[in-house]
Amino acid sequence: MSIQQLPAKSALAAALALSLLLGGCSSAPKKPVEAAGPESNEPDLVAQLRERMASGNLPRKAKVESTGPTAVTGDTSSAPTVTVDPVKQQAAMAVGADYARALGLMKADSDAEALALLRQIGTRAPQFSGPLVNQGVILLKQKKYAEAETALKAALKANPRSPYANNLLGIALREQGKFGDAKAAYQAALALDPNYAKAHFNLGVLADLYMQELPLALSHYEKYQALQSKPDPAVANWIIDLQKRTGVYKAPPRPAPVEPVATPDEPAAETAPATEPQAPATDAAAAEQKSAS
């Protein structure tokens, strides 16, 4: 069945899925607005935040936990730009409706059914990275990291210019202890899109907690923070902490003291005269002074 033969609502969903299939991501790219949700179904930064809190020492953990849920959970940055091959558009129409259904199953947390359908789509249309990227998303949720690595490497073979696949591959590699390879995957995602905030965040976590490369971690936390439309207070704390640990922290200057200004209801304090006035001389004193002269 073609998109033209579908009911209006189904046709719209299939058309959206078609664009996502070509782009290799799992939901519509978001606009850079404060209330926007994640740009795809990739593992949310909430899990990364919890990991970051749990891995710090006690004072840092307590400081971060006291802030509660923060803007990290929403990621108010803009989505990466993915290169689309227009030659593949016709072929994508053949699987667009099934891909839309798979995305709906993922949204409904029916991961097993979605994974089976995505694998079918991948067999029918191996030239597309989208079904493979979303297989990686589900496998990461299921903690099947080696399988996720295989799916995401296949996605990159289909589309080497997918920042989503590189970022997710970094997570899969990190969870297997392949820290150097994970670093390279995040850096590849950022080479494709330097403004990919989640990749900056994940590389910061990797450098901070796993590789102890503190200047690198600081750099990417700062870049992540700069890409948010609303700064995240927890990440701001981590940045200050790393600035202190790397010796680059500069305390903000203290404001200059402000002189109090008298208000109309409060008269200004009287000041003492420069010299005390002399008492007027009496007649007797004046006579004595005259006779002495």
Lowest mean pLDDT among 53-62, 112-121, 168-177, 188-197: 53-62
The answer to whether residue 256 is domain-embedded is: no
Residues 34-50 pLDDT 10s: 222 334 566 655 555 65
Q: In Å, how far from its chain's centre is CA 202? A: 9
Structure confidence at residue 181 (pLDDT): 98
The answer to whether residue 229 is domain-embedded is: yes
The answer to whether residue 179 is domain-embedded is: yes
- Tokens standing for 182? 């994970």
Residue 289 has pLDDT above 70, yes or no: no
Q: What is the distance between the alpha carbons of residues 26 and 130, in angstroms, rounded to a whole number?
A: 7
Work out the percent of the chain whose per-residue pLDDT is above 70. Answer: 59
Structure confidence at residue 167 (pLDDT): 95
DSSP helix/strand/coil, 274: coil
The answer to whether residue 61 is domain-embedded is: yes
Structure confidence at residue 125 (pLDDT): 85
The answer to whether residue 49 is domain-embedded is: yes
Structure confidence at residue 132 (pLDDT): 94
Structure confidence at residue 78 (pLDDT): 73
Residues 13-28 pLDDT 10s: 554 555 556 555 544 4
Residue 265 has pLDDT above 70, yes or no: no
The answer to whether residue 13 is domain-embedded is: yes
Look over the chain and give the mean of its residue pLDDT values, rounded to a whole number.
75
Bigger pLDDT: 258 vs 199? 199
The answer to whether residue 101 is domain-embedded is: yes
Residue 142 has pLDDT above 80, yes or no: yes
Residue 134 has pLDDT above 60, yes or no: yes
Structure confidence at residue 60 (pLDDT): 41
Structure confidence at residue 93 (pLDDT): 74
For residue 165, the enclosing domain spans: 3-77+85-245
Structure confidence at residue 157 (pLDDT): 95
pLDDT category of residue 260 using cuts at 50, 70 and 90: confident
CATH code where residue 46 lies: 1.25.40.10
Kindly give the interhelix angle for 163-175 and 130-141, rounded to the nearest 10 degrees: 30
Q: In Å, how far from its chain's centre is CA 99? A: 28
The answer to whether residue 258 is domain-embedded is: no
> What mean pLDDT comes out for the span 227-243?
91
**Hunting for tokens 């210019």 — which residue is that?**
161
Total count of domains within the chain: 1
Residues 54-89 pLDDT 10s: 555 433 433 333 333 333 445 677 777 666 666 666
> What mean pLDDT comes out for the span 235-244?
93
Structure confidence at residue 128 (pLDDT): 87
> What mean pLDDT comes out for the span 230-253?
90
Structure confidence at residue 97 (pLDDT): 85
Q: Is the CB of residue 71 less than 8 Å from the CB of residue 33? A: no
Query: Is 193 buried (19+), middle (13-18) or exposed (0-12) by CB count in 10 A?
Result: buried
Residue 175 has pLDDT above 70, yes or no: yes
Q: Give the DSSP H/E element, type plus range, for residue 9.
A: helix 8-23
Structure confidence at residue 163 (pLDDT): 94
